[in-house]
Amino acid sequence: MTKSEITVPATSGNRLLRQWRRVKKWWPVYLMMLPGAAYLIINNYIPMTGIVVAFKKYNVQDGIWGSRWVGLQNFEYLFTSKDAWIMTRNTLLYNLAFLVINNVLGILTAILITEVNRKRFRHFFQSMVLVPFVLSIVIISYIVFAFLSADGGILNHTILPALGLDEVDWYNSPRYWPFILVIVNAWKGVGYGSMIYIAGITGIDKGLYEAAELDGAGKIRQILNVTLPSLVPSIITLCMLSIGRIFYSDFGLFYQVPMNSGTLYSVTNVIDTQVYRMLITVGNIGMSSASGFYQSIVGFILVFMSNMLVRKISADNALF
Amino acid sequence: MIKKWLCCALIVVFMVALFAGCNNSGNGNSSKGNDAGIDAGSNEINFDEDPFKITFMTIITSDGAGLDDVEKAISEAALRDINMTIDIVPTSFGNHNQQVQLALSSGEPLDVLMMFGNNAPTYIDSGYLIDMGPLLDQYGQGIIEQLGEDVAYAASMNNFVFLTTGFKEYCYPYGLNMRADICDELGIDPDAVKTLDDLDAVFATVRGAYPNMDILVSGLMRFTTTDNIDALTDNFGVLMDPANNTTVTNRYGSDSYYEQAQKIRQWYNDGYVKKDMAITTETGEAIVMAGNAFSFFSLFKPNTAVEKKSQTGYDMYQAWLGASTMSTGTISGIGYAIANNTKDPVKAMQCLNWMYTSSEFMNLIDWGIEGRDYQYIDKENNIIDYVDGQDYQTVAYHVDLGWALPNQSIAALWVGNEPDVWEQYRAFNDAATRSLAMGFTYDPTPVINQVANVAAVVEEYEKPIYCGTVDPETAIPAFLEALENAGINDIIAEKQRQLDEFLASQ
């Protein structure tokens, strides 16, 4: 038995001893971890206590801890307005649509890209597909404006007349916008989403494909039976992360792209934009914190619940 | 062995670097200790004691090193006149509110600050400010003389004077700016345009001559103080006839609102208004500058022509359409306040008084150093211009925010303005009617939920209506119904109650 190998019976008292011995042995490593851990605790965990602001009437002189408790008063405005139900409905439906469509398109794009044999072309397509993601949403909203504008837009003035159809007043017609927003969001986000799937696919053992080909499987069969099942862990992880943010929305997408047109609010108003509109003049810190609390608590509960569900179905794929 | 020690040394270096970033800033308890009564001492400056340091936080739109020399010069002048040195903390329009919040809540030294009137309820509630009322009585004679007594005290809430406004126009009539060259070409006389109906003929004429031009590139009723209305801070419940009547009503349900909505809708249908007006974020000035546009509505003041010429590049004629009333809202938009952090409120007020009465200070802070940033081209009429060879891109310091600074009327005039423009301003202000609710600012806290909901409703419905994109026949009733559901009647009742209380206490 050398000095560095200390085995002790695994009883709880000695567990502490083992931990301590481990720290003593590896203390430079623990020390290196300290700044990062300190940063994480200070920047991410300690501010969580500020969540109490949602239940207080915040007064800068008294600070967070000295301000008065007001119970659920800050939440009233979220639920009493007539639009409260609409904004929640819009947020949920859009996020579910984005979840499904972006993942399907992401997997499709990843499969197509990995099927390209010439390396140079493959890298080219990978980069091209990422370009919309790095564009600012304001620029994208003007690209959409160039298409849909009533005064000079390409659709109204070139494409629709060529097809023999009438002009459409896009920015005042709510019914087209769910489709427009889903398309714009997919165009912007697919490149980024497909990156994880590309990594997943390139990690699949080539031997599996050879075996499938030997068994007589065509391309489509191979994709269905080899690629997709191997991607299931990535899909589950990404889906669960999305579920955690199911009450959040991309503010730029829902505010900038419809150009803040009032007539479209019934289909473009989500929790983030509605709260912004309500509080930009009022500026009440307690009320805006209440909205953030609402969104994050719901996401938190949903992540836990979906993780429990996944653990029941296939324990390996659960997040925790 | 050496490797291990090197490892340790590196780790220590990292740790030190981590903690070096932590700044031990001042403690968070800001003093509430300035509640002590204002000492009714004499207004004499005591030159025997040490100079008092004033920290002055204000918006400076000029960046670069030019500010340091200006600050030094201002401090010298202040030392000579009032035995104080001034430390300027510059901010920008974008971050001014945040900087002020930070300074006031962390107890940093701050004496005089520029502030936006719409923050008044929050700042007063949080105890950030000092009531300037008693200080003005004793130490602010210069300010009262320059502004006039009713204007000097106008920015107050529950008898707490929270700021003093800068010298500028205090009411905002609106009208139409039209391209002068096109007007001359087609024989349109701007003075003959007195009402919105007169514009029908004007627009038709221009459309006939220029079929592809954008005739009107702005909406119509976005101006909150038009038609003699006292907006009572946020336009949710207004005084429609503020000089005579103190009943708070719903502006969006009034006949005049409906008529104006009809008018802009008619122009939309006639093709004079851009179809995308409701979603455009460009200003009328920017669109005219781009070239193919004729007119836009804006708020007017005595030297609007000069301002629009520099903003659009074209000469513009002004057709004055609507009168406007002076009210607390028009006066307290932006001004100067005294922070609770100050060590000596009396000295802070004396400094502010000096700023309002010292031409030297005003010229330094607005225009910079004479000879380096500007030169006199007409000393008798007090007119200045850039130094030869310089322009707005190369000059070291050039703020030109006269309307936001304490007293632009005692500073030099930029070239292009008429020499008597300040007299015009004073005449303009004196001729304006005053709202009966001057000095009243309502406190929205009892109806804050309704205010939030009404704000969202107004965001949704207002713009399409005032740009003519929707038919007012259906849109305005829907708008009014949504407002009622959001609780506008509660807001109106609360405003009326507070206003009656205020008037009774006068």
CA distance B278 to chain A (A): 7
A80:B453 CB<8 A:
yes
For residue B358, is it left (φ>0), alpha (ψ between -120 and 50) or beta? Answer: beta
* B404 shares a domain with B343: yes
Angle at A172 between CA A169 and CA A176, to 5 degrees: 80
Please, what is the end-to-end C-alpha distance for chain A in angstroms?
Answer: 37
From chain A, the residues in CB contact with B30 under 8 A are 61
Give the number of other Cβ atoms within 10 Å of residue A188's Cβ. Answer: 21
pLDDT of residue B29: 37
CA distance A135 to chain B (A): 20
> Smallest Cβ distance to B464: which of A83, A263, A287?
A263
> Smallest Cβ distance to A77: which of B127, B449, B485?
B449
Structural domain includes residue B29:
no
Determine contact: B337 vs chain A, CB below 8 A: no
A83:B456 CB<8 A:
yes
| Minimum CA–CA partner of B482 in chain A | A82
DSSP structural state of residue B385: E
CA distance B167 to chain A (A): 26
Determine contact: B204 vs chain A, CB below 8 A: no
B460:A34 CB<8 A:
no
* B384 shares a domain with B310: no
pLDDT of residue A258: 92
Tokens 């307005």 — which residue? A81
* B148 shares a domain with B60: yes
Per-residue confidence band for A142, with pLDDT thresholds at 50, 70 and 90: very high
B279:A171 CB<8 A:
yes
Size of interface A-B (CB pairs under 8 A): 101
Contact B217, B284 (CB under 8 A): yes
Higher pLDDT, A265 or A61: A265
pLDDT of A117 above 60: yes
* B235 shares a domain with B205: no
CA distance B462 to chain A (A): 8
Give the number of other Cβ atoms within 10 Å of residue B234's Cβ. Answer: 20
A60:B104 CB<8 A:
yes
B455:A274 CB<8 A:
no
pLDDT of residue B32: 38
pLDDT of residue B329: 82
* B480 shares a domain with B421: no
Angle at B318 between CA B315 and CA B320, to 5 degrees: 175
CA–CA separation, B252 vs B246, rounded Å? 17
* B351 shares a domain with B312: no
Q: Please identify, among B305, B323, B341, the residue that sits at the C-terminal boundary of a domain.
A: B323
From chain A, the residues in CB contact with B276 under 8 A are 149-151, 171
> Smallest Cβ distance to B30: which of A34, A61, A279?
A61
pLDDT of residue B38: 42
| Minimum CA–CA partner of A285 in chain B | B122
Per-residue confidence band for A5, with pLDDT thresholds at 50, 70 and 90: low
pLDDT of A98 above 90: yes
Determine contact: B32 vs chain A, CB below 8 A: yes
Residues 6 or more apart whose Cβ sits within 8 Å of residue B324: B171, B172, B173, B174, B225, B226, B227, B228, B330, B432
With a cut of 70, which residues of chain B have pLDDT below it?
1, 14-43, 63-64, 221-227
Structural domain includes residue B372:
yes
Its pTM stands at 0.76
CA distance A280 to chain B (A): 8
Determine contact: A284 vs chain B, CB below 8 A: yes
pLDDT of A22 above 90: no
From chain B, the residues in CB contact with A86 under 8 A are none
Per-residue confidence band for A223, with pLDDT thresholds at 50, 70 and 90: confident
* B189 shares a domain with B79: no
Tokens 């305005």 — which residue? B476
A35:B14 CB<8 A:
yes
**Element (H or E) spanning A16, and its range?**
helix A12-25
* B430 shares a domain with B332: yes
A279:B464 CB<8 A:
no
Question: What are the angstrom distances between the C-alpha of A173 and each of A263, A266, A268, B470?
Answer: 7, 10, 11, 11
A150:B275 CB<8 A:
yes
Per-residue confidence band for A255, with pLDDT thresholds at 50, 70 and 90: very high
* B342 shares a domain with B210: no
* B238 shares a domain with B153: no
Determine contact: A82 vs chain B, CB below 8 A: yes
| Minimum CA–CA partner of A76 in chain B | B449
CA distance B459 to chain A (A): 7
Structural domain includes residue B371:
yes
Q: Please identify, among B437, B460, B494, the residue that sits at the C-terminal boundary of a domain.
A: B437
Per-residue DSSP letters for B443-487? --GGGHHHHHHHHHHHHHHHHHHHTT-S-HHHHHHHHHHHHHHHT
Cβ burial of B138 (10 Å; 0-12, 13-18, 19+) is: middle
Angle at B187 between CA B183 and CA B192, to 5 degrees: 85
Among A residues 55-74, those touching chain B with beta carbons less than 8 Å apart: 59-61, 63
pLDDT of residue A138: 92
Determine contact: A79 vs chain B, CB below 8 A: no
Share of chain A above pLDDT 70, in %: 94
- Long-range contacts made by residues B64-67, C-beta under 8 angstroms, separation at least 24? B64/B396, B64/B397, B65/B396, B66/B368, B66/B369, B66/B372, B66/B373, B66/B395, B66/B396, B66/B397, B67/B397
pLDDT of residue B494: 94
Give the tens place of pLDDT for each residue, B384-408.
888 888 877 788 888 878 888 899 8
> Smallest Cβ distance to A151: which of B15, B276, B453?
B276
* B213 shares a domain with B115: no
Dihedral Cα B20, B23, B24, B28, nearest 10 deg: -150
State in words which class domain A74-135+176-317 has. mainly alpha
Determine contact: A127 vs chain B, CB below 8 A: no
B456:A80 CB<8 A:
no
pLDDT of residue A240: 84
Domain ranges for chain A, please list them.
1-42, 74-135+176-317
Determine contact: A32 vs chain B, CB below 8 A: yes
A260:B482 CB<8 A:
no
Determine contact: A76 vs chain B, CB below 8 A: yes
Query: What are B13's two structure tokens?
Result: 């270096």
A280:B455 CB<8 A:
yes
pLDDT of residue B221: 63
Mean pLDDT of A73-86: 82
**Element (H or E) spanning B316, and its range?**
strand B316-322
CA–CA separation, B120 vs B157, rounded Å? 8
Q: What is this model's ipTM?
A: 0.74
* B194 shares a domain with B126: no
CA–CA separation, A275 vs A292, rounded Å? 10
pLDDT of residue A299: 84
Could you write out the three-class secondary structure of B54-121? EEEEEECCCCCCHHHHHHHHHHHHHHHHHCEEEEEEEECCCCHHHHHHHHHHHCCCCCEEEEEHHHHH
pLDDT of residue A8: 53
Q: How many domains does chain B have?
A: 3
Mean pLDDT of A98-102: 94
CA–CA separation, B151 vs B170, rounded Å? 9
From chain A, the residues in CB contact with B464 under 8 A are 172, 261-263
pLDDT of residue B354: 92
pLDDT of A216 above 60: yes
Structural domain includes residue B301:
yes
Determine contact: A80 vs chain B, CB below 8 A: yes
Domain boundaries, position B180: 174-219+273-323
CA distance B259 to chain A (A): 21
Determine the length of chain B.
506
Evaluated on CA atoms B249, B252, B253, B256, the torsion sign reads positive
Contact A111, A167 (CB under 8 A): no
| Minimum CA–CA partner of B340 in chain A | A61
A263:B444 CB<8 A:
no
Higher pLDDT, B323 or A260: A260
From chain B, the residues in CB contact with A283 under 8 A are 119, 122
Contact B143, B136 (CB under 8 A): yes
CA–CA separation, B404 vs B163, rounded Å? 12
Structural domain includes residue B203:
yes
Among A residues 136-175, those touching chain B with beta carbons less than 8 Å apart: 145, 149-151, 169, 171-172
Determine contact: B45 vs chain A, CB below 8 A: no
Give the tens place of pLDDT for each residue, A146-166.
999 887 788 888 888 888 888
Contact B422, B462 (CB under 8 A): no
